[in-house]
Every structure is written in C-alpha cells, then in structure tokens.
Amino acid sequence: MDVKARMDELVSLINYHAKKYYTEDAPEISDYEYDMLNRELTELEEKYPEFKSPQSPSLRVGGAILKGFDQVRHEVPLDSMQDAFSFDEIRDFDRRVRQTFTDVEYVVELKIDGLSVALEYIDGKFVKGATRGDGAVGEDITENLKTVKSIPLTLFAPYPHRLIVRGEVYMPRSSFESLNREREENGENLFANPRNAAAGSLRQLDSRVTAKRNLDIFVFNLQLSDGKMPETHTESLDYMKSLGFCVSPYYNRFRSVEDVIEEIKRLGEKREGLEFDIDGAVVKVNNLSQREELGSTVKFPRWQIAFKYPPEKKETVLEDIQINVGRTGVLTPLAILKPVAVAGSVVSKATLHNKDFIAEKDIRIGDTVIIQKAGDVIPAIDSVVVSRRKEGSVPFTMPEYCPVCGQKVAQDADSPFVRCINAECPAQLVRNIVHFVSKDGMDIDGCGVQQIERFISCKLISSAADLYTLDFNKIREMERYGEKSAENLKNAIEKSKSNNLDRLVYALGIREVGAKAAKLLCERFKTLDALIEADENSLLSVGEIGEVTTRNIIEFFKNPKNLELISDFRKAGLNFTYTSDRVSDIFSGMTFVLTGTLPTYTREEASQIIESLGGKTSSSVSKKTTFVLAGEEAGSKLEKAKQLGIKIIDEEEFRAMTGNTQQ
C-alpha cells in the first residue's frame, strides 16, 4: 500500500463528507462510517508522522498549547455596523442610499450573536485565523479555529491563490446548555450566554479545550480574493458555499424598503426556533460596486445597517413562590411560572433575588407577569400586569422559619437577605460539602455534586469530616463506581490532608472569607488554633479584613457545631499549620492592579508571583494602588490609572522588577 497516497485519499474523503454534512446538510455516509475514516487517518498519522498534512482533519481535536496570542493586522478592516432600533431608522438608511442610487437591491440576513473572525487561505489551505479585535488589529487564534469542524481546512476547487473571508463563530444553544450543566456539576462559574461561552472558548491557550466546546461558524463576507470577484453579495455567498464554507442562513433579496422591513419581522418570528442566538437582522446593499461607491463614514460602512431586536417578552402566570436555601443559609425566592416559550426555550422558573426585589415590583402569587431573558439567557420577571390582578391577592412575605429545617430565620443587618442560621440545616449540607471539596478549597477530585448527594442519600456521610472516614468497600459496590475510581477518590482525599492551612480555612465556608482573605488570615495567625482564639482587634489588624468579615469569623468559631467539625478534622489528621509561599518581601506594602491580557502570564500566575514577593493584588484602581500591570485590551482601569497618576507597567517591566526571585 502506498501510505502517503492513502493518507491523502482519506483527507480528501473526510473533507468531502464534512462538506456534505456541514455545508450542504446532505450526508452520504453514516456517522459511524465517517468516524472510521477519521480513525484510520489518525492511526496512519501516528505511524507515519512525516506524511501528516498541515491541514489534516485530525487537527480538529486540538493539541497546541500557546503562551499567548500574537497580534494580526487585518489587511481588510473588519468594520462594525450602525445599529437601528426602529423601522423608521431603516427607512432613513434607505433614503440615504437612494440619494446616490435610485435603483438598489438589498440583502437581509440574520445577525448571528457570536464572535467575528477572519479566515485566510493560501492555495486553498487554511493558514491563519484571527479575532476582529478593534477592527484593525486582532489576535491570532489559528490553532483554536482549526478545531471548529465547520471551518474547512482545505477548500474545494476552483479556488483563488489567496482568499480572506469573514464569519461569526457561535456556540449552538444545545452545546451551551450542555456546557453549563457540566460546569455546574463541577462547581465552576456558569457562562452568562452562548456568545460569552464562544468568546471564552476561542481564547483558550490550550486548543484541546476549544475542541470540546462544539463551536460552529457562519461565513458572511468575502473580504479579499485575488481571483475574479463576484458582482453581488449573494453571488459571493453562493461562491463561498461552493468552496466548502457554511454561509449565512436565510438570506433573501428585496428592492422595496417596506419588503425589507417585513423580512426583518419574519426573521424575528423565527428567533425562538433557531439552534443559535441572533440579536438582529442585517440589511446590506447587494451590488458590490455600489457598496464601493457608497463607501464608509469614520465609524461605519454606508452600505449596511443592523436592526437590533428588542429582548423578547412573554406574558404568563406566577403560580407559586418557592423558597430555596443556599449554602450560606440564604433563603432565595424562586418564581414558579406557567411554562412559556421565551427566546428559544421554555421558561417555568425565574429567580426573584430577595425580598426587596419582590417588594419593589409588588410581585404576588397568582399575578400575571411579563417575562424576559436578561441577555437573552437568564429568565427574569420584568413587570406585573396589575390591571389583571385577582381580588383578594396579598403581598408576599418571606417565611419566619426555614422551610427545610423549621428553625427560625434571621434578617441580615447589612443586606436584604433572610438567612437560616442553623448550621445543621440539611439544605445546606450538600452545598457546604461541595464548597469544601472545591478547587480553591480542599481540591478533592472525583467528588462532585452528584457523588456527594449519593454519599448523603446512602448515609455514608453527614458532614465534610465524614469524607475522611469513608467506607471505600461500600463505595466500590455502588453503581458507576469501580475499583479505579474508588481508589482515585481515596488518594485525592488522603492527599488533601496535607493541604496548606489557607485551603482549609477557605473550605470551612465562613461568610465573606474567600480564598484571598483565607491566605491573609493564615499569613497573620499561622495556625488554625491561633485563628480560632483571635479577638476582634487582632482580626481587624489584618489588611482587607473589615468589620463585617471580622464579626462573621468570630461568630463562626463561637458555634459549638463548627468547633466539633474542626475537632473531627483534627482527628482525621488534616494540616492545621500554615507554610508561607513567600520567597521575598521586595513587594511588601505594594498593591498591584492587573488589567488586560498579558503576553505570557495568566492573571492568576502574575498574582501568585506578586503575593510570593510580599505584595497584594486588588481588583480596582485607587490612590492606594502602587502599580497597574497592563496587557493587551486593557480597559477602564488603565484610564483611571492615568487620571490618578498611578505608574503603569507592562510584563517586561514586571519581570525586571521580580529580579532573580521569580519562581
């Protein structure tokens, strides 16, 4: 067998079937057969790496790990668009265009809510991909874009020598929901919406992470071609589709502005049923020579405009208000709604935040309410239709007793929150243990929400301390637990015993004591016993520990149940002594604020270096700030530093300041 010929044939076959699946929606083989082609290619590449193509479909799984992103200057600027929020603004746009051309044809497309990128091809091979950035300069994210399966790595002939196209990378709604479920199970922060998730995924330094995010793309503009250029935008879309690109869906041509407006309305009605988010519709002059003559203003092209859809609102009935109890005992009211479809999904619940929010909007059970999704993602009650309120309805009041444990609740003195103060409340148990094992806490792998709930339901644990006396024979017998996973969990729990003290202090779940505050406390008191005995004055002497946090610490260590838990940790052999990772005091007394993207360090890495050299980091710029460490795309913090006359340094200066002490 001619190995290289077979590998080239496999690449060609896989690209052909990818086009049939992603571009034409007309697959000719099963998913299994497609997977087998990929597997054969991967196995051959492992045996004969010298024959592997730089455009191999196997690159879809990622693998490159970067230290940062290089800058890319766009040869053709990636312009932004003028926004319109009313149909009269669309009519005004049409009048301006017709001042130059009386005969004009428009194309109306969906405005995909994602991240704009430019893709460059040389001789049909994908060679570079970059973010929009500021329109003139973006970031090189080629390796991450190679993992997007609908971006062709090799174009179909005939193609020009050089080609640049523009598209919008997005995360399908189903992928977004799956990703957030996974992050919730792992105790990680949720993405606010698919656009943020897509942007965060494309800026991963490890392309293997990007590959797992199931991103997609629609290409919508031909930026540059050294071949024959089409005469119209719709011809360019058809041409790009023939090359293998997924192009903008639902594009149509119109000569009347009123027909354009009707199409915008029609596309808006499709919004709910789409598998991707849109935030508007784009109106473009179809003829490319007319576009060139219309030109651009300083900010926007004169030949296109984006109509932005308002947040979708729906009317429904508030059937009940359910009270949930969180990890810190806060009682959170949750609206139980008559199910209603809003912005692409069925909404049956919405958070009501706290009693002040309910009182401000005068929300009552049985009310007809208006629902919208904040950022088109998070369900929220916008308002109450008071005119349809039933007679006899009464204002809602928070319960006096915890709905889970029955103990009396207390009103926070410094916030609108009502709280269950019973440390043994079952509703808090799962969340307390999840917090205890979290990455910033004791960092116990293999112990997520589902596992903890199972351990509790099987009566294997009733507190975080019980993790250290788990019966692993019983765990091995549990469904979906084998010898290997049980052994891994056992090792992770054993390893956590030697964690530095600041992890345990954070894991205890004292209100207002985050990972940073825990470290500051441990730097000052050195042992858990000393922290337990600390009085108000000594706690207040610790930088950034205020009166509220001090009260919370003292109250926590007064509680007999908490002291009993700590005693159990002591018996289990957990480390109660702090070992400082400080290697020098050269930054002692200095406060750094980090902003923007640094070339090689992550913010976490730079913060660790600062703290190891005796300095502090802060999230906001003030007169107390010593230095602002600024990277690319630094925002308002940089401007404030300039106004206050704070010294601004870059990573190179920062490295020089650390000298030979940098770890």
The CA distance from 545 to 536, in Å, is: 11
Work out whether strand 313-325 and strand 331-342 pair parallel, antiparallel, or are unpaired: antiparallel
The CA distance from 284 to 308, in Å, is: 14
Write phi, then psi, for 100 (nearest 5 degrees). Answer: -100, -40
Q: Which residues are marked as active site? A: 111
CB atoms within 10 A of CB 536: 12
Output the DSSP codes for 364-427. Answer: -TT-EEEEEEETTTEEEEEEE-GGGPPTT-------SB-TTT-PBEEE-SSSS-EEE--TT-HH
Q: What are the tokens at 248?
A: 């903008």
The CA distance from 198 to 117, in Å, is: 12
Residues in the chain: 663
Tell me which H or E stretch contains 8. helix 3-18
The CA distance from 478 to 107, in Å, is: 59
Q: What are the tokens at 479?
A: 């469904």
Among candidate residues 370, 420, 364, 349, the one with its CA nearest the CA of residue 397: 364
Contacts of 300 by beta carbon, 8 Å cutoff, 6+ apart: 79, 80, 81, 82
Contacts of 472 by beta carbon, 8 Å cutoff, 6+ apart: 486, 489, 490
Q: Are 436 and 376 in contact (CB under 8 A)?
A: no
Q: Which residue has the tokens 């309805």?
A: 393
Q: Are 105 and 330 in contact (CB under 8 A)?
A: no
Among candidate residues 178, 198, 175, the one with its CA nearest the CA of residue 186: 178
Tell me which H or E stretch contains 568. helix 560-572
Inter-residue long-range contacts of 31-39, CB under 8 Å, 24+ positions, other chains counted: 37/10, 37/13, 38/14
Distances in whole angstroms, Cα of residue 500 to Cα of each of 76, 158, 575, 579: 53, 62, 7, 7
Partners of residue 252 on adjacent β-strands: 108
Rg (the chain; Cα; Å): 29
Q: Which residue has the tokens 């505050």?
A: 517
Q: What are the tokens at 383?
A: 């308002």
Instruction: Give the three-class secondary structure for 651.
Output: helix
Among candidate residues 3, 19, 38, 7, the one with its CA nearest the CA of residue 153: 19
Full strand arrangement of the beta sheet holding 647-649? 616-618, 591-595, 627-630, 647-649
